[in-house]
Structure 1
Amino acid sequence: MVTIKRWTFELGSTLPFLVVAMGLAIYSMPASADWYRFSDTAMTTPIELEFWTEDKELADRIGEEVLAVFHQVDEQMSRYREDSEVSRLNRNAANGPVTVSDGLFEVLEKAREVSILSDGAFDITFGSVGYLYDFRAGKKPTEEELLSGLPRVNFRDVILDQEAQTVEFRQAGIRVDLGGIAKGYAVDLGIEHLASLGIRHARLSAGGDMRLLGDKQGRPWYVGIRDPRSEGRNAVVLPLQDVAVSTSGDYERFFVDEAGDRVHHILSPETGKSVQGVQSVTIIGEDALTTDGLSTAVFVLGPAKGLEMVERLAGIDVVIIDDQRMMHVSEGLVPPQ
């Protein structure tokens, strides 16, 4: 069971007062001739697109163009590609200011904003130790390796010059990793492209990041918050529309080490180790760039500090499932007494 404040619910129950979504279990009505669906894999995650239009030729073109956005952002912001803009930045920014593209600068500015809001709980320089993990091989760094890398984890050492649109690192060895925010940016770009072409009803997701454009032709979109410890089962299933939703979970990339501990990809900038005490965080807001960064920030902060931060932010709500199977929700999602 998952307990929400004073309310207790069986996993999989429907809670009409929560407007949330998660990574991504989608419950939609049967398709009609006017719904078009496309899928792909990019940015190391599945991409799903669904939208309504009466023009099949237009639909095929739109599908290709929106999916192409994710490959373009991957080419620009992936740390796994030696030729990406982020990789070039990591190689050169310690030697002096590096001019970057509009898109990369926008993402870096948002990352800094979330870092300041969360007092460093979200920090893209975690890549300075994050590269030491290999989740496929079940490899984690030694204590000595972490101690060596942690001095380079500090978002304040990434200097952004808005006027010149340049980025500089204050010290050598810093590695920026945009894995906790770039997919949200790509989702936003995809939705903006859909809207510019007159599409009014759509769902676009990249792994745990999603945006809904309008409703599902007069009906809500039904989505679920996954039970972090039971694949294929949801904690809640709920209707929503016209929102961005991002989820960070300790089940996305992980392995169990020799001590029986779960080692996952959401790392504490303070320790360089997997964050404990939280299983998943879902953020609801207006744009996926913001919700993507905040979901990681709240995961690192934990339920108490995470809720405290969210309550200060207009238009943002959160659902947190902690390691005791308790579900914590922000005030905006609690029904009136």
Structure 2
Amino acid sequence: MRRLFALVVLALLLAGCAREQVWHRESYVFGTRVEVAVWGDDEASAGAAMGAVLREFDRMHRAYHAWQPSELTDLNAAIARGETTHVRPELAAMLTDAKALAARGDELFNPALGKLIALWGFHTDTFVPRLPDPKAVQALVVSAPSMADLHIDGTRVWSDNRDVQLDLGGYAKGYALDRAAAILRAKGVRNALINIGGNVMALGSKGGQPWQIGIQHPRAPTPIAALALYDGEAIGTSGDYQRYFEVDGKRYCHLIDPRTGSPAMGTEAVTVLVTPRHGAGVLSDVASKPIFIAAHHWREMARRYDVADVLRVDADGAITVTRDMAARMKPLGDTHYTVLDD
């Protein structure tokens, strides 16, 4: 059975005399379960703030859905017709940001790959164990749709390549984290934890102590390690165990390598911790994708995105962590891992 979360939120499970002061709401959007927890405020104000966050998540889900009718599918239809179209300023800004982030990683983070994602059967909530037509895959590899093909002038958007089909699944959850943090702060909430299917952002603390989360093992029901998360920090995980299917004993996940047109191999999971900065939520969502796809060259990709805290599980199950991540995490159980020097 698929696990919905790459990260197990431990904070809400910890016993303590003030546990009743953690107010909690959850919903199901972006194809996953989302949770918002607020510490220390009265129930009414916390509930109002969390309700505003969940309404924003629902708005974004409907506006930027990759295959159900949305502003994004309207844009994709215009691109397929070779037309220039106007989009709302928010979407134009998101695409501009996503284009710049894609360029930093040689387009391994590539939201223009919607046609390939659909071809592999991941534009649905249930996955059929069936391989796509190799010729159709190869045609898209040759066409090489990328964010570099997308042009944005104000709110006008068009593409040189009609095979560009935008899918913001690797960007929108991080954007939603940043939006949630802004909404909570605007409503006076200073201590909260937001979890969108394993993409997590912390605000403030839990009773003066850092929020605690667990990094999920990609092949086991237990966490690899516990991790303290401080104000403004965000965690993102990409793994082959959330959206995948198997054919003849081989696993095919939704993380497509644009160089081959096929699901990335060589990595089971990557978790990145992004320290406080503007757009920390977005970066935590985006950076884990090219690091995952880069496989053995993941360290260079992490440096490109200025991410120092990384945990990677390779295709053989071996766990490697950067020195910065090792200093932050507490291994659980009989976890064995290698710490890199640089």
Task: Quickly name the TM-score band, shorter chain normalised.
Answer: 0.7 to 0.9
Deviation string, structure 1 residues 113-154 (Cα, Å, up to 9, x no partner): 221111111111111211112252223311011022221422
TM norm structure 1: 0.86
Q: What is the identity percentage for the equivalent residue pairs of Structure 1 and Structure 2?
A: 27
Moved more, 52-61 or 209-218: 52-61
Tell me the secondary structure at the aligned position of residue 198 of structure 1.
Answer: coil
Tell me the secondary structure at the aligned position of residue 201 of structure 2.
Answer: strand
How many equivalent pairs are there? Answer: 310
Match of 2:41 in 1: 54
2:74 is aligned with 1:88: yes
CA distance in 2, matches of 1:315, 1:121: 16
Match of 1:203 in 2: 193
Give the aligned CA root-mean-square deviation in angstroms.
Answer: 2.0
Q: CA deviation at 1:283?
A: 1.4
2:174 is aligned with 1:184: yes
Match of 2:94 in 1: 107
Moved more, 218-227 or 23-32: 23-32
CA distance in 1, matches of 2:83, 2:169: 24
Q: Is the 8 A contact 2:41 2:189 kept in 1?
A: no
Moved more, 278-287 or 314-323: 314-323
Q: CA deviation at 1:174?
A: 2.1
Match of 1:323 in 2: 315
Q: CA deviation at 1:239?
A: 1.8
TM norm structure 2: 0.85
Match of 2:256 in 1: 267
Q: CA deviation at 1:75?
A: 1.1
Match of 1:5 in 2: none
Moved more, 87-96 or 323-332: 323-332
Unpaired stretches in structure 1, ≥5 consecutive residues: 1-21
Q: CA deviation at 1:63?
A: 1.8
When residues 316 and 88 of structure 1 are mapped into structure 2, their CA distance, relative to the original with a 3 A threshold, is farther
Tell me the secondary structure at the aligned position of residue 318 of structure 1.
Answer: strand
2:54 is aligned with 1:67: yes
CA distance in 2, matches of 1:120, 1:45: 25
Moved more, 309-318 or 85-94: 309-318
Q: CA deviation at 1:312?
A: 4.4
CA distance in 2, matches of 1:312, 1:43: 27
CA distance in 1, matches of 2:305, 2:166: 26
- Whichever residue aligns with residue 223 of structure 2, its letter is N
Q: CA deviation at 1:108?
A: 1.4
Q: CA deviation at 1:270?
A: 1.2
Q: Is the 8 A contact 1:209 1:244 kept in 2?
A: yes
- Whichever residue aligns with residue 299 of structure 2, its letter is L
Q: Is the 8 A contact 1:267 1:274 kept in 2?
A: yes
When residues 25 and 51 of structure 1 are mapped into structure 2, their CA distance, relative to the original with a 3 A threshold, is same
Q: Which has the higher contact order (CA 8 A, sep 6+)?
A: 1
Match of 1:26 in 2: 9
Q: CA deviation at 1:101?
A: 2.0
Deviation string, structure 1 residues 40-78 (Cα, Å, up to 9, x no partner): 001111010100243222122112111111111111111
- Whichever residue aligns with residue 300 of structure 1, its letter is I
- Whichever residue aligns with residue 184 of structure 2, its letter is L
CA distance in 2, matches of 1:147, 1:96: 25
Q: CA deviation at 1:316?
A: 4.4
